[in-house]
Amino acid sequence: MLVYERKKVEYHGRLGRIVALGTALGRFAGPLLLRMAPLIFLAATVGVILFSWIVAHFVNPIVPWLIRDIIAITGIILFVSLVSMIGIWGERKISGRLQSRLGPMRTGGWHGWAQSLADGLKFVQKEDLIPRSADRLMFRLAPYIALVPAIAAYAAIPFGVGWVYRGMDASLLFVLAMLGIEVLGVILAGWASNNKWGLYGAMREACQLVSYEIPMCMSLLVPVMTVGSIDLLELGKAQSGGWFDWLIFRNPFIFLSFFSYYIASLASCKRAPFDLPEGESELVAGFHTEYSGFRFTIFFFAEYAAMFIVSALATIIFLGGWNSPFGDLTGGPLWFTAKSGMLIFIQMWVRWTLPRIRIDQVMHACVKYLLPFTMLLFVGSSLWQLFISQTYVAFALFLRYVLGAFALGILGIVMVAFYVVWAVFGYMNSPLMVGRLVRKHLPGA
């Protein structure tokens, strides 16, 4: 048993005065802030509106790019903070509802809405612990490697037509790349804390994410192939109209690929039932076992930011993005946020409903079921595309003569049905820990 003995830190002189001042200020201002929070929010909203009006009329004509960039980046960071604040509170309320309890009720008045703010204040005040045997530089660096790409991904996500900070030709790939870098921070955190639970969590994260990235990207490829662009703006614009124009209802393969994307995205932002990297029943807290205080908060921020990113991708690519379900209505960003929020709610619902699955089941589910399924969907969707293609009319006609009406689509559907039967058969005879997976040389076999 290793017990860390640390010297008690006492502040003297100027530092001591600063600490005393800060403590006094916190004791005085903390309750006041919580009590006045609705007023502060109102004042901030009015202030932002006034500020943007002043900028639009006086500053913008002089240096257009500077203010635009500053406002956009600040807005993105504020949005991420708001998403994680509401997300953490919502998660606790929803889990409470699903488990027949109330969740946070006290802080801030109405249904404990300021719980996340209070938690944030508490986390900032906590002692910042670094284990003695940890790699100090990497331990400190890891949370930022997790958070910065998650925020950077928002730069390419369009919230509506004209509501994107940097529209680019390969914006879908950019968002996926940023999600891919985020993994590195988590792995680094687990390794640098030099703790066996942390290392196990990091290893699980690495193997889970590297394998689930493939079905995720492949199931995104199915609708992308239908539209013919990897620009998120183009993808959103291709679905204007009512709900029946959304890509998810374009053909049956895209409908199925939405679900495979959703499952893979749950794994990619390590939500239950794939939250093995932090499985608290086995690994204490997984990769962030050794993290405390503000660094721990940063990991939380990164997780909720990533949750919104994958939901936003699903919204833009499958669910019509900023287009309203009833024809052309205004308020694009609101529709977009509402749909993404709905998907995040489903993520939480799934998390508090399903039990966590084992790591070997996670890998089996990816390599044996999800990956072949997405490949079948890819093939089926390309056959469907060729059959009803407007660009290759001659080829479509040829196919129609040779194979009869919708034969190719039916072929794809038969393939998917065969796959489902095969998967159910495989699940019935699935390898259990007491069965085929047991090796003779291991103890307990």
Partner 1 sequence: MIKPLFFYIFALSSVAAGVAIIASTNIVRMAYWLIGMLLSVAGLYFLQGAYFLGVIQIIVYAGGVAVLMVFGVMLTSQRVAAQLRPRRWEVLWLLVTAAMLLTGIVATLLDARWSPEEAAASNNVADFGIHLLGKFVGPFELASILLLIALLGAAYLARPKVPTVKPEDTPK
- Compute the distance between CA of residue 255 and CA of residue 245 in angstroms, rounded to an integer: 13
Q: Where are the alpha helices (DSSP H) in 193-331?
A: 196-227, 232-237, 252-268, 293-317
Among 80, 150, 155, 187, binds partner 1 (CB under 8 A): 187
φ, ψ at 436 (rounded to 5°): -70, -20
Is residue 131 part of the contact set for partner 1 (CB under 8 A)?
A: no
- Compute the distance between CA of residue 308 and CA of residue 314 in angstroms, rounded to an integer: 10
Amino acid at 1: M
- Compute the distance between CA of residue 181 and CA of residue 146 in angstroms, rounded to an integer: 8
User: Which residues have CB under 8 Å from 237's CB, separation 6+?
Assistant: 161
Is residue 230 part of the contact set for partner 1 (CB under 8 A)?
A: yes
9: left (phi over 0), alpha (psi -120 to 50) or beta: beta
Among 33, 34, 86, 203, binds partner 1 (CB under 8 A): 203
Is residue 135 part of the contact set for partner 1 (CB under 8 A)?
A: yes
The residue range among 35-43, 56-64, 79-87, 428-436 that interacts with partner 1, by the rule CB under 8 A, is: 428-436
Closest residue by Cα to residue 55 from 75, 71, 72, 77: 71
Is residue 439 part of the contact set for partner 1 (CB under 8 A)?
A: yes
The residue range among 2-10, 28-36, 37-45, 195-203 that interacts with partner 1, by the rule CB under 8 A, is: 195-203
Tokens standing for residue 190: 């687990």
Among 32, 414, 420, 438, binds partner 1 (CB under 8 A): 438
CB of 129 to partner 1, least distance (A): 19
Among 168, 396, 403, 407, binds partner 1 (CB under 8 A): 168
Query: Where do we find the tokens 């030709």?
Result: 169
Query: How crowded is residue 175: how many other Cβ atoms within 10 Å of its Cβ?
Result: 23
- Give the relative orientation of helices 64-98 and 136-152 as an angle to the nearest 10 degrees: 100
Is residue 188 part of the contact set for partner 1 (CB under 8 A)?
A: yes
The residue range among 116-124, 249-257, 408-416, 427-435 that interacts with partner 1, by the rule CB under 8 A, is: 427-435
Query: How crowded is residue 64: how many other Cβ atoms within 10 Å of its Cβ?
Result: 10
Among 85, 199, 359, 376, binds partner 1 (CB under 8 A): 199
- Compute the distance between CA of residue 84 and CA of residue 73 in angstroms, rounded to an integer: 17
Is residue 441 part of the contact set for partner 1 (CB under 8 A)?
A: yes
Is residue 176 part of the contact set for partner 1 (CB under 8 A)?
A: yes
Buried b (16+ CB within 10 A) or exposed e, 216-231: bbbbbbbbbebbebbb
Whether residue 268 contacts residue 212, with contact meaning beta carbons closer than 8 Å, is answered with yes
Is residue 6 part of the contact set for partner 1 (CB under 8 A)?
A: no
Is residue 443 part of the contact set for partner 1 (CB under 8 A)?
A: no
Count the site residues for partner 1 by CB under 8 A: 40
Whether residue 220 contacts residue 172, with contact meaning beta carbons closer than 8 Å, is answered with yes
CB of 180 to partner 1, least distance (A): 3
Among 13, 61, 355, 435, binds partner 1 (CB under 8 A): 435
Is residue 146 part of the contact set for partner 1 (CB under 8 A)?
A: no
Is residue 218 part of the contact set for partner 1 (CB under 8 A)?
A: no
Is residue 70 part of the contact set for partner 1 (CB under 8 A)?
A: no
Closest residue by Cα to residue 236 from 346, 312, 155: 312
Among 19, 59, 71, 177, binds partner 1 (CB under 8 A): 177
Residues 248-287: x where in contact with partner 1 by CB under 8 A, - otherwise, as a string: ----------------------------------------
CA distances from 414 to 132, 350, 422 (A): 59, 30, 12
CB of 183 to partner 1, least distance (A): 6
Is residue 296 part of the contact set for partner 1 (CB under 8 A)?
A: no
Residues 384-423: x where in contact with partner 1 by CB under 8 A, - otherwise, as a string: ----------------------------------------
Is residue 207 part of the contact set for partner 1 (CB under 8 A)?
A: yes
Is residue 181 part of the contact set for partner 1 (CB under 8 A)?
A: yes
Residues that bind partner 1 (CB under 8 A): 135, 138, 168-170, 173-174, 176-178, 180-181, 183-184, 187-188, 191, 194, 199, 202-203, 206-207, 209-210, 213, 228-231, 432, 434-441, 445
